[in-house]
Every structure is written in C-alpha cells, then in structure tokens.
Structure 1
Amino acid sequence: MAEGGNQYARTKVQPKDFVSGWVVGFIIASTGLSVSTLFLGSDIALKIGFKQALIAFGISTFVLTIMCMATTLIGNRSRLSTYMILHFSFGKYGAKIVNFIFGITLIGWFAVAIELLAVAIYDTSISTFNVVVSKELIIITTSLFITITTVYGIRSIEKLANISIPILTAFLAYVFYLSVSDLESISQLFDYAPKESTMTLFEATSILIGAAVLFPVLMADFSRFVKTDKQSLFSVLGLTIGTPLAYILSAVPSIRTGEVDIIKIMEQYKLVIPAFLLLFIATWSTNATNLYSASLTFTTINKNWTFKKVTITASIFGTILALLGFATYLFNFLEFLGILAPSISSIYFIHFFFIKKQNYNLDEINKWEFSSLISWIISSVITVFTYLEVFQLTHAYFIDSFLLGAIVYLFLKRKTISFFKTTS
C-alpha cells in the first residue's frame, strides 16, 4: 500500500503506483451509479419531462466535463492530491479552511447515500415482504462495508468498481429495456410532461451541476495516479458518459411507472431482490470514493492523523449524520456546493498554470495565500446574491462562481502573471 497506508496524502505519487486512465474512468463512472444519482435522474425527469430532462443532463455534463478536463491535468502533472494542491494555491493555513469544508461536504454525501439506501430498503421490506428491517441497522452495516474497502485505498476501490460497474449497468439497461418495451411507441416517452411542473429547466440543470460540482475540484485525487496526460483526459469520460447514462437509465423506468424510488420501480417488474443488491453495491462503490476523498482531506489538516484512523473517524461521523436524517436537506446541500466549489477550481487552475508554471515544490508552501482566499470569499459572496436573484450576471450561479473566482484572482495576481506584464 502506498506511503505506509497513507495513500500519498501529503507526497507525490510514485511511478510504481501509476495506473491506466480506464481504471480511474471506471472509478469515476461508479460514482454515477449511486442511489442519489439515480434518484436525481428519476425525480428531475418526472418534474420537467423527458425532453427537458435530456437537455438538463446534457448541459450539466458538458459544463462539468470542461471543468474536469482542466483540473485532471493538474493532478496528473503535479502527482499531488487535491488537498496538497490547495496548500499551494491557498497557503498552508488557508488550505485547512477549504479542506475542512470539503471534508464535511464529502461526509455529507456519504450520509445522504447510505440514508437513501436505508429508507428504500426499509419501505420495500414492509410493503413487499411484510418484514420490518431496522433503518439504523442498514445504515451501520453499509457503513462498515464501505469503511473496510476505503481503508485499503484506491486499489481496493478500483477492484470494487471493476466488478460493480458492469453488473449495475447491465441490470439498469435490462430494466430500461423492459420500460421501453412497455411503451406503445418511443414518442410516448419523449412526449411525457408532468401535468403541473414544479421545477424549471434551469433549476434542474443547477441541481445536477451541484450534485457533481466537486468532481472538477477533486479530479486530482484520482488523476495523480494516471500514467500520462492523455490517459488522464480519457479518464474524464467516466463522468462524460457514465453520469448522463445513469440519469437516463433511471429516468425512463420512472416515467413508465411514475415512481422515484428505484426499489418500488423494480417491484413493478418483480425484481425486488436484484434491486436490493443493486442499491447496496451502488452505495458501497460510490461511498468508498466519497470516504476516500474525505479522508485524504482531513489527513492534510493535521500531520499526526493517519489515513486509516481518519477514514474510520469520518465514517463514524457520516453514519451519525445519516442516522439523524441528513438526506432531508439534499437539494439545499447541492445548491450550497454550487456556490462555493466552482470558484476554488478556477483559482487553483490559474495558480498552477499561470502562477507556478506547472511546478509545485513541496518545500515552497506559504503559510497564507491571501489573494486566493480573498478571491474565493468575494466570488462566493457575490454568487450568493446572484443565487438569491438580488441581481444577475450569467443567470447561472454556478458559472458566476467559477468566472468570478477566476476574474478576481487574475486581477489580484496581475503583477505576477507574465501575460499581463507583456500586455500592460
């Protein structure tokens, strides 16, 4: 195991642990087959109609792909985790603030996924088998499996993804096929629209981007293991193909059955037992990735914290959140991410390519990088106002965040960027 079990949390990945791009692409794709992702695909399709949903899926994927292509190169060329990269762009102490927020966010995702799984299994075990299965027991058991997998690092997650993705994709494709076969014609699917829309196309797109907006920031955690630039860009296809595919595979059965809960959908096709296994494996695979990134985050806050101990501690906190019902705040949680996260990725992209010229030396980390912190705070505050529609810029608050972070940071660092020196 790398770095004495610490997964290169604070050092550069060594060549002996490099992997191919398809391995990382599979890991990324596995996160698209999560309970929360399937829930979003179903819920949005039922609320805005299939045609509108496809547009939302496409726009959100395009935006996230472009952002990921930029940040994946930083991880591949620096060979450092996202959290060490943030040490360079935000400073030693500034990065601790950012990393703490990301760590809590990832634990939030961890909690949402296992809680949604527990609720789905609990409801269906009663309605289908007339058996009461404790939600608390489901949450704790699932958390235990995920924690054991994560403790053994990216190789363990890779093996799980290699097994789970083909099985999950094949199963969802089969249900998709059954759903389409039940339709009188394919136009029935595309013509579907809710009687009363409770969500706009923009709101749907915003939620979808918020759901995956951490991907661009966290791509370095995975691309740092990839052998070459070209392969790291290839790995982004895990998001470009995997995520919209998961949305579509969940949306069509939902439109056919009118249900959002995937187990209730499977119940109509007499596939409840496979659905139990599907949800469990999906949650296991996705949350191993969430917990892995969260653990890397917290290990950079304190050098005395080992990856293994942090993983176990983070898992306990995530489990407690799930037991307390954190999933109730899912949509608000996603919108919050859409405000904070995009500007961070634009700031550290500019810092790596234009300030440090793609050269990060671990002995050259400053205590504070006030330009980055100020840019992040200003862009976040302004984005809050555009989100609340006090005034508008691009009419997409997540794009406001990304662009504002870049613009303010470029302005504050204009004297140190060669482009501005030659044109001024």
Structure 2
Amino acid sequence: MEPSNQYTNTKVQPKDFTSGWLIALIIAGTGLSLPTLYLGSEIALNLGLKNALVAFGIATLVLTLMCMATTVIGNRSRLSTYMILHFSFGENGAKVVNTIFGITLIGWFSVALELLAIAIKDAAFDAFEITISKWAIIILASLFITITTIFGIKSLEKLANIVIPILTLFLGFVVYKSIGELESLQKLFHNHNQDSNMTLFDATSILVGSAILFPVLMADFSRFIKNDRHSLIAVLGITIGFPVALTFSAIPSLQTGEVDIIKIMREINLVIPAIILLFISTWVTNATNLYSAVLTFSTIKQKWSFKKMSIVASIIGTTLSILGFSDYLFEFLEFLGILAPSISTIYIINFFWVKKQEYLLKDITKWESSALISWILSSTIALLTYLEIFQLTGAYFVDSFILGGLFYFIYKRKEILK
C-alpha cells in the first residue's frame, strides 16, 4: 500500500488484507501506553489488588462485547469508522461526530506526549543529573510518531511486531522482580490507600472511558483483516492486552507504593530500560491515535492528502501537549464515557438491522435526524445520570449505550421490523 493511499474514503482492496493477529498486536500495544499504565497504578493504589482486578475485568468485558459487534461491521463493509458513520448519521451529521472524535484522538495524542516528556525529564535528572526541556522531548517524540503515521497501517504493523513482544516481556520481568521483593504476597492485597474515596464503580467508569473509543474505532483496523474470524481474533488485543497492561502496572505500584513509573523503576534499578520502554510504547500508541485522527479529519477535509493531514493534526496535538492538556485527563475520560457509547450502538443497529449489512453510497443523505436526535438525547440523559441528578442503571456509560440504541430503534422501528 502506498503511503498516500490509506483508503480514507473508499473500501480496502484485497491486496491489502492482513491477519487478525497482527491487528491484535497493534491494539494490545495501545494498552502499553503511559495513560493506561498510570490508570492501572492509580486504581490499584486506591482500591487494592482484589477490587482493582474486578474493575479491570468488568471494564474489559464491556469493551469486548462492544468491540465484537463493531469489528464485524468494519470487516464486512471494508470502510473506515468515519465513512460508516455517514450511513447512520448522514454526510453532515458524520462531520459533527467525526469532529468530536478527531478532537478526542488529538487529546489522547497530547496527553501521552506530555506524560512521556515528564517521565523522561525526571528520569534523565535522576539517572544523570541532566536537565532536559519538556517541550524539546515533546517535539522530538512527536516527530518520530508523525513520520511513522504517514506510512500508515503497514508501518504500524511492522513496529508493533517488533516492540510489543519486547514491551510485554519487559513489563513481565518488572512484575516478577516486584513480586520477588515482597515479604509476603498479602502485601499486594493490603498495600493501598485506606482513606481513598474511589469506589469500584468510579474505577470501572474511568477504565471504560479510557478505552471507549476502541469499540467505535475498531472498523478502522478490522476493515484490513482477511475475514470475520480474523476480525474477532483482533478483539483479543483488548480482551487480553488491556487487563494484562493494567495488572502489569498495578503490581509494581502496590509493591513500591508509587504511581509514578520512573519512581517505580528507580526502586528496582531499571530507570534506563524504563526510558526506552516509555518512548517506544508512546511511539506505538500515539502513531495509532494520530492515524485514527487523520482518518477522522479526512472525511471533513477530503481534498487534503493523508500526509498533509497527519502533519497538521500532529502540530495541533503537540501544541496542546506543550500547553499542559494532561491536567484534564480524568475529566476527558468521563466526557468520552458520556458521548461515545451511544454512537457505537446506533451504528451497530444501523448496519445489521436498518441497512441489512449492505452499505450503498447512493443511500448517504445530508442529515440523518433519527441518529443525531438519538445521540443527543442519550448523551444528555447520560450526562444527567453522571451528575447524579437521577439514576438509571447506575453506570452512565451503560445508560448512554442502552438509551442510544433504544431511541434509535424507536425512530427506525418500521425499517427494522419490516
């Protein structure tokens, strides 16, 4: 595949089909990111290992079930998420939704860059007493990531094939070494903040919000996969990769009592390998984030080349990172948990029951009011349940998912039931 042809607005051709195992590696690699490792540590230290593992499991189950539906849609349609949204939301409606997703992905890009820069800056000072400018690290890392992204899904595959096994083995070694230094395994279950206000529900909500874009964006990757069976194999990147990454970050944090990964690595004398780990993991994750963001914006600015869009999106994300966007990480994740789930359920219903698994370009309209109204209503109610003005299921992200589907089903019931 040529770098300029990433099938932003067209169906993927058979010559570029790939294995579900390779895509699973890419997806698993995004779990080995600084934001995810930070969340695993934070939740474990607040809840203890037992409750943290329950939260990891519930969040993974929710995400897996959603991904199983959306990955099949991408595989059968061979279209990107952003083109798929045209059929359920209309041409202009999809631009509204895509703009939100694009901004969200750029936000993730900037958060990961900033956390990386802070970690490397601290590590360089601790190990060598060298002071490195945070913005210089951000710009350098962004440059590597942008170049990788420009060469598209194939370059991400090659990068993931090399680094993901290495990163997994490294983190596994860190866990092994952490457990070896424990006086008793009971410490893992008792060494947490007894005064924490974080609940099991809070932790599960944050985790679902942290990865809620996976179900929505699975089509971006599954459209390249050989067949349905392989597209479901790709979901293992979430089902296995997500909880493993969280657990691998939780155990060293509980052993050391630290959430900062550099402080954790200093405790077990692995600061230098940690710097390499952080850089490579952010490279893989942010190349994926930027790739998806470019696909999003490509449906809005269709005349721009993939390369041009990659550069512009990278500049925006890098600027946000320098300005300190990571200060709003938790609010950012909660925002995603309100808006994104209903979009998934709307386009799942649209593909399987409204369009009967067949997308025809002539069917795209300018606006699809049924989807837009369903999304706005479900998001508004989910916001109210998030603010605890009243409660439905007790989980605002579940409210968003169920209500989005319910409202859309009511609007489209005649087409669905005919």
> Aligned equivalents of 2:275 and 2:104: distance in 1?
27
**Cross-structure match for 2:333:** 334
* Aligned mates of 1:185, 1:84 — CA distance in 2: 53
Deviation string, structure 1 residues 207-241 (Cα, Å, up to 9, x no partner)? 00000000000000000000010110011001110
Q: Which residue of 2 aligns with 1:106?
A: 105
| Larger displacement relative to structure 2 (255-264 or 67-76) | 255-264
Q: Output the CA distance in 2 between the equivalents of 1:321 and 1:218.
A: 23
Report the CA distance between 1:165 and its aligned residue: 0.4
Q: Deviations over 1:107-162 (max 9, x none)?
A: 00000001000011112222332110110000000000000000000000001101
Q: Does 1:216 align with 2:205?
A: no
Aligned to 2:402: 403
**Any residues of structure 2 matched to 1:344-359 within 5 Å, and which?**
344-359=343-358
- Using the TM superposition, give the Cα deviation of residue 198 of structure 1 relative to its aligned residue in structure 2, in angstroms: 2.9
What is the aligned partner in structure 2 of residue 146 from structure 1?
Answer: 145
Q: Does 1:322 align with 2:353?
A: no
3-state SS of 1:416 partner: helix
Q: Distance in 1 between matches of 2:262 and 2:255?
A: 14
Q: Kindly indicate whether the alpha-carbon contact (under 8 Å) linking 2:187 and 2:255 is maintained by their aligned counterparts in 1.
A: no
Q: Does 1:385 align with 2:371?
A: no
Distance 2:355 2:296 in 1: 22
Query: Residues 229-264 of structure 1, C-alpha deviation per residue, up to 9 Å, x if partnerless?
Result: 011001100111001000011100001111111111
- The AA in structure 1 aligned to 2:143 is L
Task: Name the SS of the counterpart of 2:79 in structure 1.
Answer: coil
Work out the number of aligned pairs and report it.
418
Query: Could you list the runs of 4 or more consecutive aligned residues of structure 1 that deviate by over 6 angstroms after TM superposition?
Result: none
CA distance in 1: counterparts of 2:192 and 2:134, whole angstroms = 34
**What corresponds to 1:125 in structure 2?**
124
- The answer as to 2:70 corresponding to 1:90 is no
Structure 2 residue 163 is matched with structure 1 residue 164: yes
What SS is found at the alignment partner of 2:414?
coil
> Within 1, Cα distance between the matches of 2:369 and 2:416?
16
CA contact (8 A) 2:178 2:268 kept: no
TM-score (structure 2 length as normaliser): 0.99
Deviation at 1:301, TM superposition (A): 0.8
Deviations 1:367-421 (A, max 9, x none): 1111000000000011110000000000000000000000000001112112xx4
Mapped to 1, the partners of 2:390 and 2:251 lie a distance apart of 37
The answer for the alignment partner of 1:240 in structure 2 is: 239
Separation of aligned partners in 2, 1:287 and 1:361: 33
Match of 1:45 in 2: 44
SS in 2 for 1:363: helix
Moved more, 335-344 or 197-206: 197-206
* SS of match in other structure, 1:184: coil
Distance 2:44 2:109 in 1: 24
Show CA shifts across 1:282-311 (max 9, x none).
000000000000000000112211111101
The one-letter code matched in structure 1 to 2:290 is L
| Cα deviations by residue, 1:1-49 (Å, 9 ceiling, x for unpaired) | 25x7130000000000000110110010000000111011001101111
Separation in structure 1 between the aligned mates of residue 398 and residue 117 of structure 2, nearest angstrom? 34
One-letter code aligned to 1:266: M
For the residues of structure 2 that align with 1:361 and 1:302, how far apart are their CA atoms?
22
Kept in 1: contact 2:44–2:250 (CA 8 A):
yes
Match of 1:182 in 2: 181
The residue number in structure 2 matching 1:21 is: 20
Cα distance, 1:364 vs structure 2: 2.4
Partner of 1:229: 228
Q: Structure 2: how far apart are the matches of 1:134 and 1:171?
A: 27
The question of 1:265 aligning with 2:264 is answered yes
CA separation in 1, counterparts of 2:5 and 2:346? 27
Normalising by structure 1, we get a TM-score of: 0.97
Quote the Cα distance in structure 2 between the aligned partners of 1:349 and 1:383. Answer: 19
Structure 2 stretches of 5 or more lacking a match?
Answer: none
CA RMSD of aligned residues (A): 0.9
